[in-house]
Amino acid sequence: MKEKVLKMSAVIIFILIVGLGGYYAYKKNTSKNALASTKYSLLKATKTNLDITVEATGSVTGVSEVNVFSANTGTVDGMTAKLGAVVNKGDLFCKIDDSTTKQAVENAQISLQHSYLELQSLKNQLDDLVVTAPISGKVRAVYAGVGDEISSIKSTYGGMAMITVGTDNSYETAVPFPSSGKVSEVCVSTGQNVNKGDVLFRLDAKTLNNSIAQKENDIKLAQKNLSDKQTDLAKSTISTPISGIVTVLNVKDGEIVTNEKLMATITDTSKMKVTLAVDELDINQVKTGQTATIKLDDVKDKTFKGSVESISQSGTTTNNVTTYSVVVTIDNPENVKIGMNANVTIAVESKANVLTVPVEAITEKNGKKYVMVSEETKKSTSSNRKASNNAKPGKLVEVKTGLKNKTLIEITSGVTENQTVMTELTQSTSTSTKSNKSKSSQQGGMQGGGMSGGAPPGM
């Protein structure tokens, strides 16, 4: 029995040894095959101009626009503008048939004329403030005194004074009363000889002068009222305020408009802009004044220049994606039309003649950056980028980096120009490369050659 147990134990141990050996051999073979099947992109670190840009799309609009309103309420007449038409500053846009404003002008003219007549009447009364001798002779009696109201003494006396003529003073003439007033000065006395036209009395002019001053002020107000009404009537003819394109047209002939209704919008086409929606990941790179390159879908074989004019400080979120509005002006927008689609590239930063490698060549570990440098000494062929699944082992080299765009990153230290760096290709890239090789073979050969060597190192 004991001997049987020992035999069974020996068999079990043998099976375990064989099983473990087979498993180890399988894992080793699998690891080698995996390493052997891994493909790498081999390329040189080269010097080039590195440009950092932000790309976005938008549509073309005018930089400035003017809304057209009517100053008067009336009926649109003689409309010459059409939607989308080109118009020039000062052209007739339309007329407003405004009978109400016309009547207001006529009424203002009549009111002003009436004020002129009233003023003249008041000035004529100034002549009544000075009472003169109607004839030459001798003053027999003076009836009016300083402070007397003409209306009070008029019914008592036959005149303000009596003048006699002739050697025997047999002929007598009364000095007539003015229509009204108050005596402020007596310039003659009884027994005095006077000549025809001499000033005998003066009346107080204060009240009359106040009335004249008030009427002159009324005339100024009436003149302004007439001017305003004439200005309003002139606005019944509406001229195009700026040169450009009619982008909004809300009225037509025969339609009644008020001063609150937007009639039209004229957009200035001499200056154009593109409004972009820039992703929140890129917006902090965009600054006002940065230059931009603009390509329009409808203007072939031409690139326009421009600059960033403004950046919105509030974003718009749609489907969890936030964008910010950025306005880029277009320099010399010849043949550019409102509404055209534009592809804009904003130049953020640029460095000339810097050492670069592909972004995917960088590996980060413990806060440091590395690239895998190939240790092959064989000179490369004319093609810089190559794919190989037999690349010789490389080594990780720590590097310092600078500027980076979507494809290239600047190397400031750790790698020198023309050193070959290795980038592991994804499975889809390897499959694509294999497919391309097959096609090239069928077409007569592939441009450039592959790299041969041992299995790549583990990271």
For residue 445, the model assigns a pLDDT of 35
For residue 194, the model assigns a pLDDT of 95
Let me know if residue 168 belongs to a domain. yes
**φ and ψ at residue 354, rounded to 5 degrees:** -110, 155
Q: How many domains, in total, are found in the chain?
A: 5
pLDDT digits (tens, 9 = 90+) for 55-72: 999 999 988 889 998 887
CATH number of the domain at 153, please: 2.40.50.100
- Among 195-204, 382-391, 410-419, the range scoring the smallest mean pLDDT is 382-391
For residue 38, the model assigns a pLDDT of 63
Contacts 24+ apart (CB under 8 A), 377-381: 378/451, 380/42, 380/44, 380/420, 381/448, 381/449
* 80 and 146 in a common domain: no
* 116 and 169 in a common domain: no
Of 334, 349, 364, the residue that ends a domain is 349
Let me know if residue 90 belongs to a domain. yes
* % of the chain with per-residue pLDDT over 90: 46
Greater model confidence, 442 or 219: 219
* 195 and 227 in a common domain: no
Let me know if residue 410 belongs to a domain. yes
Distance CA 311, CA 316 (A): 13
For residue 35, the model assigns a pLDDT of 46
pLDDT digits (tens, 9 = 90+) for 18-37: 666 666 655 555 545 544 45
* 184 and 149 in a common domain: yes
pLDDT digits (tens, 9 = 90+) for 93-128: 888 887 778 888 899 999 999 999 988 988 887 777
* 240 and 227 in a common domain: no
Examine the pLDDT at 450 and tell me if it is beyond 50.
no
Distance CA 459, CA 457 (A): 6
Rg (CA), the chain: 53
Let me know if residue 297 belongs to a domain. yes
CATH number of the domain at 392, please: 2.40.420.20
* 334 and 303 in a common domain: yes
Rounded to a whole number of angstroms, the distance between the first and last alpha carbons of the chain is 55
Q: What is the mean pLDDT of the chain?
A: 82
Query: Contact at 8 Å (CB) between 139 and 191?
Result: yes
Q: Within its chain, how far is the Cα of 282 from the centroid?
A: 22
Whole-prediction pTM? 0.51
Mean pLDDT on 122-135:
86
Mean pLDDT on 419-429:
72
Let me know if residue 27 belongs to a domain. no
- What residue numbers bound the domain in which 108 lies? 103-123+210-234
Let me know if residue 247 belongs to a domain. yes
Examine the pLDDT at 390 and tell me if it is beyond 60.
no
The structure tokens listed for 426 are: 């994804």
Examine the pLDDT at 438 and tell me if it is beyond 50.
no
* % of the chain with per-residue pLDDT over 70: 81
Of 294, 320, 349, the residue that ends a domain is 349
Distance CA 146, CA 124 (A): 23
For residue 224, the model assigns a pLDDT of 93
Residue closest to 356 by CA, chosen among 289, 392, 407: 407
* 339 and 281 in a common domain: yes
AA identity, residue 247: T
Let me know if residue 263 belongs to a domain. yes
Let me know if residue 440 belongs to a domain. no
CATH number of the domain at 279, please: 2.40.30.170
Buried b (16+ CB within 10 A) or exposed e, 120-153: eebeebeebbebebbeebebebbbbeeebebeeb
pLDDT digits (tens, 9 = 90+) for 305-346: 999 999 999 999 999 999 999 999 999 888 898 889 999 999
Give the 3-state secondary structure of 337-381.
CCCCEEEEEEEEEEEEEEEEEEHHHCEEECCEEEEEEECCCCCCC
